[in-house]
Structure 1
Amino acid sequence: MNFDDPLIRMAMVLVSGIIGGELVGRIKLPKVTGWIGTGILLRMLDGYLTTSHGLKLGLDPDAVSTFGPYMNFVLGYIAFTVGAALHFASLQNTGKRLGLLLLCEALITPAVVFFSLFILGGMDTKPALLLSAIAICGAPGTTVLVVQEARARGILTRTLVAAVALIDMVAVGMFEFVYAFIRVPGGGTMSLQAGLVNVGTEFGLALAVGFTCAGLALILIRTVVGPAFVGPIMVAVILGSWGAARGMDVSGILACTFAGIAVSNLRHGTVRSTEAYLQSIGGVLFAAFYTFAGMKLDFSQVWPNLSLVLLFFAFRFIGKYSGAFIAMYFANATNAVRNFLGLALLPHGGVAVGLILLVQNDPTLSDHADVITTVGLAALAINQLLGPSGARFALNSVGESGKARPRLLDFLDEHRITVTVDGNTKQAVVSSLVDQLYATSDMPIEKEEFVRQVMKREASESTCVGHGLMIPHAILDADAKMEGVLGISRKGLDFRTPDGRPVHAVLLLATPENERERHLEILSAFAHLITHDENLCEQLYHARSAAHAYNVLHAEAAEEINYFLEEVLEEFRDPNPSKPNP
């Protein structure tokens, strides 16, 4: 049999990866860990058979290079998906957390890693600088896979998924700066200004490529392409962005990330079409990709550099954890996010592989390529073997695993909550909340008409229900989904109420005709909260941030009011329910 045929190699790698992932999944570890480990074993098996029996399976780095376009597409898809997660309207309450985290990632992680390699490990300056920049990289694909497998939802999950995209952009920028700085012909040095110009040019060209490809695709979708081909058009965006970027000698990862950002913020629904289109083959894409990634590591080069590998791994983790902890401390994040975000950032993935390969293929860095490749890939393999489990442990520890299921109050996500609502009149308060509603939701009627309907309803009968709660709303003559925002005032709003108490929470609801039943369920849930659970009520009314308010409403203690809808359906089917219907 001819094992040199690329399709046979692909089949062997794919089947092996699937088996490895399934076996690892049975012991409750992320499948990506099994894929990486399978790749490492395949390379070792190929070497053993070649040496001992003269049988070469072709499962070595040459096999990976054969599938270069495939690997590039999966990297581009990962970058596009993570860029699409940066829907700015949905991240408006996370800006402080993300900003501080990126600052700490850009300063603390590379500084800690450089110190360990240069001072403790005695590594030369150039490889130490490059590995320090590579250490910033996260693993968007791995992180998204772990989140999906864990069915996680919450503040840590939201921060993590948004952060990994931006962290990789910071890593690429830092790497490009260091890369340009040390590659000056003749062994000279580049000025700080020239290095910054180089990074700015890289980002500017990548942004232009990504936005151009995304813009052309959206024009086609509006004018020519039908709904059935939205997914394929987005695949073309990924391919075009990567190819055009490589043709201009800029980062394909950045270009695809910018393309995802453009599509998400210009036509958000298109992102879901793309994900749905590729979901059916997602197992093929990721299983083969990460198995191939594991095959890149040459263990014969690891043992002579084992001390450097361990230093890189250990101090990268120290940098990641301390940087995330410091950032979340100053961002006033919840204790759960502060304590576990650093652990969740441990995975190290595709972008780091791309940067290592860039060094490996540069003849001007041939003196340092071997040590960078060995240390970088060996530590990456350890991170990919342990990192997904660390991320899963973090999600489990903060109670966000299994929460990505429909719940009654799902529309009250963090970006639809504010804790600074204020106003002297109901009109002013409602108008401010309507602005937030329209900034974060696709509404079927004009803003002014919605405000008029809400205030007309308020004039006929006050929605101040007592106990500090007000629920202004309007019933929309449209076939849409329930939308709403929650405004919290810690000091209280001085409105006329049945019990004379100031209003601390204003729940603004936009209810379509087809959601009237859910509207009543939500009113019942909040009435139950304010009258039966004083502790939860006080936590909500005095929440320090939107994230704290979100945690109150989505915590286990609140499941009696913010229940999982599928559990309610099961109870209706069960003739002897274990607990009464909400």
Structure 2
Amino acid sequence: MEFHVFLYLAAIFGAGYVIKHITSAIKVPEVTGYVLLGVILGNSVVHLLTTPVLDSLSSVSTIALGLISFMIGIELKLDVIKKLGKSIMSIVTFESMGAFLVVSLGLYFIFRADLNTALLLGAVASATAPAATVAVIKQYKAKGELTSTILAVVGIDDAAALIIYVFIESFVSSNLSGSSVSVPSMFASALLSIFMALGIGVLSAIVYGLVLRKTRNNDWIMLLLATFMFALLGVCELLQISELLSIMAFGMVIVNTSPTLSKKSEGIISNFSPIFLVAFFVLGGAHLDLGSIRTIGLLGLFYFAMRSIGKMGGATLGAILGKAPKKVRSLIGFSLLPQVGVALALALAINKKFGSGQFGDVGSQLASTIINVLLFTTIITEVVGPLLTRYALHKAGEANTETDHQ
């Protein structure tokens, strides 16, 4: 089986190389190409990445989740957040909670979905993918108030989404297991889980910084960074707490306590993360069951509409209440639709938690529904999202218009 695993990985990376050329030529975000490649290679079309193969490669996705979490943490620089003022936290609070509430309530009361599905999809909806948005900002060399606000919001937003998810996962787990857990004890359990994850991440970052405080050699840093990343993934899995939250805290402490070590660590992660991220998006796409679109399609479109309303409306309201500059108030909502990064990470975490058989057929069906809804709507958000971000940057006068003619 191990021999076959290497061949599957070779096929994924080779196909990913081709997709990178195609998406570059037709100017489509790479992640969209990788997800579509996964759909083609998965159970729905070619049947190369079948369910047993996906299970055997699950550790690759877990490592990618850790890398995504670290990259989010590295973006959470306190001095930048403070400089941008209270409007940032106001926007993050209202757009993440807005998406969660509008999707959850809309699915439960209007679409008549079951409570567990509504809550988990609401939790996933609160996340925004920084990758696609940051790629557009870099492509157009954008600078200004709106650009700075967008970068801060997409970084902090994922932290908020992870916290919302931990609470909801705890509630749904109790609900499916039939245990009569009271709301106060459920919240206490979720809070304990959050603080444990954050505490382990913070403590690890402090030790990491102390050990490497006089080290400048990248080889030494790479070895210890790999040690801590894998240790955090393993410990969090053993304790059944959020590895995403723990590694995000690990990255955040490093970037705010040791800029030099942070820059070197970020450079190391940037060098080998593309390999894991390509596999992550391809394997994520392979989970999509095209045969389920007839039943998922309407649910997916409704989810997309509700999430768009929650995100754009919440961001605008947060900007108004936080007294953000005028162009931020009117345009910030256009830049928060992409969802393939952390939202896909959360969907795969849901698949790992509820699709493992621990909660029986109900849990497996729940996991399947959520990952298919997300992958179905990802195709829409990864095309529409970057176009809307480009529109907002041009409208704000912060994009370098010369890049359009290059």
TM-score of the aligned structures, taking structure 1 as reference length: 0.62
Q: Does 1:87 align with 2:69?
A: no
Alignment counterpart, residue 109 of structure 1, candidates 68, 76, 99: 99
* Residue type of the alignment partner of 1:352: A
Matches of residues 144-543 of structure 1 in structure 2 within 5 Å? 144-184=134-174, 187=178, 190-223=181-214, 226=217, 228-356=219-347, 357=351, 358-361=353-356, 363-364=358-359, 365-366=363-364, 368-402=366-400
Question: Cα distance 1:282–1:227, how it changes in 2: closer, same or farther (>3 A)?
Answer: closer
User: Which structure carries more helix by proportion?
Assistant: 2
CA separation in 2, counterparts of 1:298 and 1:141?
25
1:115-166 Cα offsets, whole Å, 9 max, x none, are 3212222211221122111111122344444444444433333322322232
CA separation in 2, counterparts of 1:329 and 1:209?
37
1:525-563 Cα offsets, whole Å, 9 max, x none, are xxxxxxxxxxxxxxxxxxxxxxxxxxxxxxxxxxxxxxx
In 1, are the aligned partners of 2:67 and 2:273 still within 8 Å (CA)? no
Q: CA deviation at 1:221?
A: 0.8
* Residue type of the alignment partner of 2:261: T
CA separation in 2, counterparts of 1:283 and 1:180?
32
Q: Which residue does the alignment assign to 1:23?
A: 22
Question: Cα distance 1:394–1:26, how it changes in 2: closer, same or farther (>3 A)?
Answer: farther
Question: Cα distance 1:235–1:330, how it changes in 2: closer, same or farther (>3 A)?
Answer: same
CA separation in 1, counterparts of 2:142 and 2:277?
19
CA separation in 2, counterparts of 1:232 and 1:219?
15
Question: Cα distance 1:368–1:224, how it changes in 2: closer, same or farther (>3 A)?
Answer: closer
In 2, are the aligned partners of 1:181 and 1:189 still within 8 Å (CA)? no
1:212-255 Cα offsets, whole Å, 9 max, x none, are 22112111112567455334433333222222222211111001
Q: Does 1:74 align with 2:69?
A: no
Q: Number of aligned pairs? A: 394
Q: Which residue does the alignment assign to 1:36?
A: 35
* Residue type of the alignment partner of 1:288: A
Q: CA deviation at 1:321?
A: 0.4
Q: CA deviation at 1:366?
A: 4.0
User: Which structure carries more strand by proportion?
Assistant: 1
Q: CA deviation at 1:17?
A: 2.0
Question: Cα distance 1:3–1:239, how it changes in 2: closer, same or farther (>3 A)?
Answer: closer
Question: Cα distance 1:178–1:227, how it changes in 2: closer, same or farther (>3 A)?
Answer: closer
CA separation in 2, counterparts of 1:392 and 1:75?
27
CA separation in 2, counterparts of 1:354 and 1:230?
26
CA separation in 2, counterparts of 1:197 and 1:65?
33
Alignment counterpart, residue 109 of structure 2, candidates 115, 119, 134: 119
Question: Cα distance 1:76–1:388, how it changes in 2: closer, same or farther (>3 A)?
Answer: farther
Q: Which residue does the alignment assign to 1:487?
A: none
1:426-460 Cα offsets, whole Å, 9 max, x none, are xxxxxxxxxxxxxxxxxxxxxxxxxxxxxxxxxxx
Q: CA deviation at 1:16?
A: 1.6
* Residue type of the alignment partner of 2:335: A
Q: CA deviation at 1:198?
A: 2.0
In 2, are the aligned partners of 1:98 and 1:163 still within 8 Å (CA)? yes
Q: CA deviation at 1:340?
A: 2.7
**Which residues of structure 2 form unaligned runs of 5+?**
none
383-392 or 236-245, larger mean C-alpha shift: 383-392
* Residue type of the alignment partner of 2:237: R
Q: CA deviation at 1:83?
A: 0.9
In 2, are the aligned partners of 1:78 and 1:140 still within 8 Å (CA)? no
Q: CA deviation at 1:362?
A: 5.7
In 2, are the aligned partners of 1:347 and 1:387 still within 8 Å (CA)? yes
CA separation in 2, counterparts of 1:336 and 1:67?
45
Question: Cα distance 1:11–1:393, how it changes in 2: closer, same or farther (>3 A)?
Answer: farther
In 2, are the aligned partners of 1:138 and 1:348 still within 8 Å (CA)? yes
Larger Rg computed on CA atoms: 1
Question: Cα distance 1:132–1:370, how it changes in 2: closer, same or farther (>3 A)?
Answer: same
* Residue type of the alignment partner of 1:117: L
In 2, are the aligned partners of 1:182 and 1:190 still within 8 Å (CA)? no
In 2, are the aligned partners of 1:17 and 1:39 still within 8 Å (CA)? no
**Which residues of structure 1 form unaligned runs of 5+?**
50-55, 406-582
* Residue type of the alignment partner of 1:32: V
Q: CA deviation at 1:110?
A: 1.7
CA separation in 1, counterparts of 2:53 and 2:387?
28
In 1, are the aligned partners of 2:74 and 2:266 still within 8 Å (CA)? no
CA separation in 1, counterparts of 2:365 and 2:35?
28
In 2, are the aligned partners of 1:3 and 1:9 still within 8 Å (CA)? no
CA separation in 2, counterparts of 1:59 and 1:286?
17
Question: Cα distance 1:88–1:128, how it changes in 2: closer, same or farther (>3 A)?
Answer: same
Higher relative contact order (CA 8 A, sep 6+): 2
In 2, are the aligned partners of 1:294 and 1:381 still within 8 Å (CA)? no
3-state SS in 2 of match to 1:302? helix
Q: CA deviation at 1:313?
A: 0.8
Q: CA deviation at 1:48?
A: 4.2
Q: Which residue does the alignment assign to 1:9?
A: 8
Identity among equivalent pairs (%): 25
Question: Cα distance 1:285–1:67, how it changes in 2: closer, same or farther (>3 A)?
Answer: same
In 2, are the aligned partners of 1:21 and 1:33 still within 8 Å (CA)? no
Q: CA deviation at 1:367?
A: 5.3
3-state SS in 2 of match to 1:328? helix
Question: Cα distance 1:82–1:333, how it changes in 2: closer, same or farther (>3 A)?
Answer: same
Question: Cα distance 1:282–1:119, how it changes in 2: closer, same or farther (>3 A)?
Answer: same
CA separation in 1, counterparts of 2:65 and 2:139?
20
Q: Which residue does the alignment assign to 1:516?
A: none
3-state SS in 2 of match to 1:363? coil
CA separation in 2, counterparts of 1:334 and 1:302?
42
Alignment counterpart, residue 133 of structure 1, candidates 101, 118, 123: 123
CA separation in 2, counterparts of 1:48 and 1:376?
19
Question: Cα distance 1:224–1:330, how it changes in 2: closer, same or farther (>3 A)?
Answer: closer
In 1, are the aligned partners of 2:96 and 2:314 still within 8 Å (CA)? no
* Residue type of the alignment partner of 2:156: L
CA separation in 2, counterparts of 1:184 and 1:342?
35
* Residue type of the alignment partner of 1:380: T
